[in-house]
Amino acid sequence: MNRSATHIVTEFVLLGFPGNWKIQISLFTLFLVVYVLTLLGNGAIICAVRCDPRLHTPMYFLLGNFAFLEIWYVSATVPNMLANMLSKTKVISFSGCFLQFYFFFSLGTTECLFLAVMAYDRYLAICRPLYYPTLMTRRVCGMLVSICWLIGFLGYPIPIYFIFQLPFCHSNIIDHFLCDMDPLMALSCAPAPITETIFYAQSSFVLFFTIMYILRSYMLLLRAVFRVPSASGRWKAFSTCGSHLAVVSLFYGTVMVMYVSPTYGIPTLMQKIVTLVYSVMTPLFNPLIYSLRNKDMKLALRSVLFGMRVCKNS
């Protein structure tokens, strides 16, 4: 039996965060400010990387593309969440729910791959400095960025299509602020263990492969850094990697709580908060993390924000 034969559930209700109307208005204001700041912060990084010649290097090219990814990642969930906070019905269409589901996981997978590529870039810059200019050319960077996007968006259409075909005839209420795997499978009236296994195996593979690669890169990187004779040289090497490590820790720490460890014993509200951290707060913090300890980025951002530099055509 497939969904087209039942015609029972045609829309879902996203409950979002609990609270009366005043609380919903307060949350709406808070998340609207967060969303606008995220767009402005990441947009400023994109402009800085494009406009400042000092940032025309592989590291900043990847950072600019990462900021572009973060804008799309946060936009996959927050606009609909904001609309739901002001809605009395909190309804999302059946196809809209699965479209959000697809973009949310595809963009999340792309982010994991981007973080691995950025770790590779730092490894080459510090451990293979003589080969770095020839290995990380603009063409290579463009290829790596394209591969991240392709793998991220081509990996989930088939499993999500099979979930889309499941009959949903129990309830249409999702106790979450977005369409996620566990809430959707809980509403299905036909078990799909193979589809669930494939989906979680694929997600776990991406998470573990990228985090293990990042950890291996930084183990080799740290070994090289400790061999640097001068303290100032070691500090400079650490400072270029500290921002990336902070983002990796924040993103992977919360993602693994949701998609690797069992979530059955975790309260629903806590699951929403954890999801909120990696899907909404991480894109907000990234511009701050990458700019606070980076002199070139701070100078470029100051030029962009205060109009001290005219953007040159690349």
CATH 1.10.3720.10 applies to domain 11-306:
no
Give residue-wise pLDDT tens across range 261-293.
655 567 788 889 889 999 999 999 888 887 766
Whether 314 and 72 have beta carbons less than 8 Å apart is answered as no
Residues 206/251/235/215 CA torsion (nearest 10 deg): -30
b/e sequence 78-114, b meaning 16+ C-beta within 10 Å: bebbbebbeeeebebebeebbbbbbbbbbbbbbbbbb
State the Cα–Cα distance between residues 100 and 4, nearest whole angstrom. Answer: 20
pLDDT at 309: 45
Residues 220/225/227/231 CA torsion (nearest 10 deg): -170
Give residue-wise pLDDT tens across range 3-51.
444 447 789 999 999 889 999 999 999 999 999 999 999 998 998 899 8
DSSP code, position 311 = P
pLDDT at 262: 56
Give residue-wise pLDDT tens across range 139-153.
999 999 999 999 999
User: Taking the domains of the chain in order of start, what are their residue ranges?
Assistant: 11-306
pLDDT at 239: 66
Whether 109 and 151 have beta carbons less than 8 Å apart is answered as yes
pLDDT over threshold 80, residue 73: yes
Q: How far is CA 207 from the centre of its chain?
A: 12
Instruction: Tell me the whole-structure pTM to 2 decimals.
Output: 0.88
Whether 66 and 118 have beta carbons less than 8 Å apart is answered as yes
Helix H or strand E encompassing 91: strand 91-93
Q: Calculate mean pLDDT across residues 60-80.
A: 95
